[in-house]
Amino acid sequence: MANFDIEKMTKSEAKKRAEKLREEIADLRYRYHVLNDPKITDEVYESLTRELKAIEAKYPDLVRPYSPTQRVAGEPLAKFKKVTHKVRQWSLNDAFTKDEIIAWDERNQSGLAKIFGHKPGQLSYDCELKIDGLHLILTYEKGLLVTAATRGNGLVGEDVTLNVRTIDSVPLRLRRNADVVVEGEIWLSKKELERINREQKQKNLPEFANPRNAAAGTIRQLNPKIAAARKLDTFIYDLSAANFKLPDNQHKELAALSELGFKVNRHHKIVHNIGQVIDYWQYWEEHKADEDYWIDGVVVKLDLRQHQEALGYTGKAPRFSIAAKFEPEKATTVVEDIIVQVGRTGRLTPVAVLRPVQVAGSTVTRATLHNEDYINELDIRIGDTVVLHKAGDVIPEIVEVLPKLRTGKEKKFSMPKNCPICQSPTERILGEADYRCTGKNCSIQRIRGLQHFVGKAGLDVVGLGSKLVERFFEEGMVQEPADFWKLREEDLAEMERLGEKSAGNLIEALKTRKQVELSRFLSALGIPNVGWETAHALAENFQSLENIVKASLEELEKVGDIGPVVAKSIYEFFISDKVKEEIRNLKKAGLQVKQFHPGPGRGKLTGKSLVLTGSLSAMSRDEAKEKIERLGGKWSDTVSKKINYLVVGDEPGSKFEKAKALGVTILNERQFMELIR
């Protein structure tokens, strides 16, 4: 810095010097975080950054958004905005045993053999550590970071760009001018967690149970300065989209991510059979504590992109990848009581009240017991000593009873004959293990339904939490969903602990939800057996609420991922007079449900229409439909001159003869697989 006196620099000289400093600082960041170069020191990095800050302070118009001085920028947010993902986010299916991993490999072998017409032989797999952190999606345009988002429901997440910009391992500008979407994991080191918890303790604030909770809590801070003070880190593992040709295997993809400037976990490994996958999984189960970050399993992916694309996805997860989870941490505790909770659909769920115990980094005091059959199968009694673990390291679950520790004072449990809330009789649902309340006006069901309608799984109204919804119900202000839009600011302002400002914010938040996407509205209604994925499938298939309401049972069953049970739930829900009245009242209150408008498909089948007759051996009809739509094509049930292809499976019907008569191009299964590959 001594050789560059900023006060004597011309603006032109300062501009050149500033850009060189940015390039050098970015290179130091790359060498430290990506290349793991131990020679890089904080002193050099900070010295160059101070010089750059001084130049930008003298010439503010030389500040660039990708400058390292802009990592912590902007005022605290009032709330997080929603962002629609450019690339759909998937979950992974889990495997917990050696046999489950082998069975997954066998499904891959069988699926690829049907698609390519021959056995693929030993398959190459990419094995990566499954970091126990927070999923992150980064979008870059022309090499610059545009948005950072959480996973959310897979279709819509939260914009956490300001907080993610504070993470040094996230490049603000890539090492090439490219448009990309990448995915990875935000994590916090064990050492940093200890430091943060020491500070929390000194301030008499609650300590974080584990690094994952601390990372999630940090990213959800509205003030980026708080996020910057906690040294979060990242590993990026997926190049989801790019304006250049994607690498042809996972190994090259990870290398490409490093070349772009992202930090990639160094412990990934290519193996050439499922036995080597199991060796890698077992090795890291024994050595997971060796690293300074939490590892809860191994992610295994077919290495070749050709194989990945051929197998594709189910409704919720890729077929070509799996999470091989480690044995969950276990602990023993005592069942002090069993209580019953009533859900929004009237289902009764028994819950064990436990003597507090530490499991997988957090204190557990309750565990769901699922249903009466589950309790009877394990013979769980009040007073029993039990073995507890966290299913998927998240949900506390009793897995074993220790009967030898019984004293004789333990009590057997049976489901109540009357609802604990409204005292209406309970009944066991025919053909199921669950009980439900038969009361038509059970208050807790109505409260849960209202909470769901405006909660995160529903309309996601900011500021309208569960406790406030319960207050509105108990005070008679809200009895059905439409009543939320009848609330007046002056009435809310008079409520205890609410106030004028909060009342105004809440009314404004409700106004912003008067126009709602069809899939979100369907999820908010709380249709039995319908979650986000199914709601989106319904919206995509029927386009409007009116079409769904009048859909027949047969039409509902044709929708991808919807079987007879779910179709019946949807059909019976919408023929209910009560539901029809609720929807009418919502419309009267000004709620508008938008029609579904799919974005323009871009792929090799854009503008093409296909019909299937007969059954395919490699995939179901719904899966074939999904592949066609993902490639920009359209699916039809009717053969006409407008159809481009008829796909013929086993035992084709009358559509085959009609297509031949009309001159429609006919594809057998092998030709169809080649087309969509």
Q: How far apart are the first and last CA of the chain?
A: 57
- CB-hemisphere CA count at 13 Å for 72? 11
Distance between CA atoms of residues 494 and 492, nearest Å: 5
Query: How crowded is residue 640: how many other Cβ atoms within 10 Å of its Cβ?
Result: 12
Q: 600: which 2 tokens?
A: 């323009």
3-state class (DSSP) for residue 474? helix
Closest CA to 549 of 569, 571, 564: 571
> Of 39, 130, 580, 641, which residue is the catalytic one?
130
Phi and psi dihedrals of 336, rounded to 5? -85, -25
Query: How crowded is residue 178: how many other Cβ atoms within 10 Å of its Cβ?
Result: 15
Which ranges of 154-204 does DSSP label H, i.e. alpha helix? 161-164, 190-202
3-state class (DSSP) for residue 650? strand
CB 655 within 8 A of CB 613: yes
Distance between CA atoms of residues 388 and 369, nearest Å: 12
Q: 139: which 2 tokens?
A: 């979008």
658 a catalytic residue: no
Phi and psi dihedrals of 597, rounded to 5? -120, 100
- Under 8 Å CB-to-CB from 660, ≥6 apart: which residues? 666
Break the chain down into helix, strand, coil percent, rounded to 5.
Answer: 40, 20, 40
Distances (CA, A) of 470 to 249, 273, 456: 52, 55, 16
- Under 8 Å CB-to-CB from 320, ≥6 apart: which residues? 108, 301, 302, 307, 308, 311, 312
Determine the length of the chain: 677
CB 406 within 8 A of CB 394: no
CB 369 within 8 A of CB 350: yes
3-state class (DSSP) for residue 113? helix
3-state class (DSSP) for residue 412? coil
Closest CA to 664 of 642, 631, 648, 633: 642
Q: State the pairing for strand pair 592-593/515-516.
A: parallel
Question: 52 pairs with which residues across the strands?
Answer: none
CB 170 within 8 A of CB 145: yes
Which ranges of 221-339 does DSSP label H, i.e. alpha helix? 224-229, 250-260, 274-287, 305-311
- CB-hemisphere CA count at 13 Å for 177? 1
Looking at 511-608, which runs of residues are DSSP E strands? 515-516, 592-593
Q: 405: which 2 tokens?
A: 């520790």
Active site positions, annotated: 130
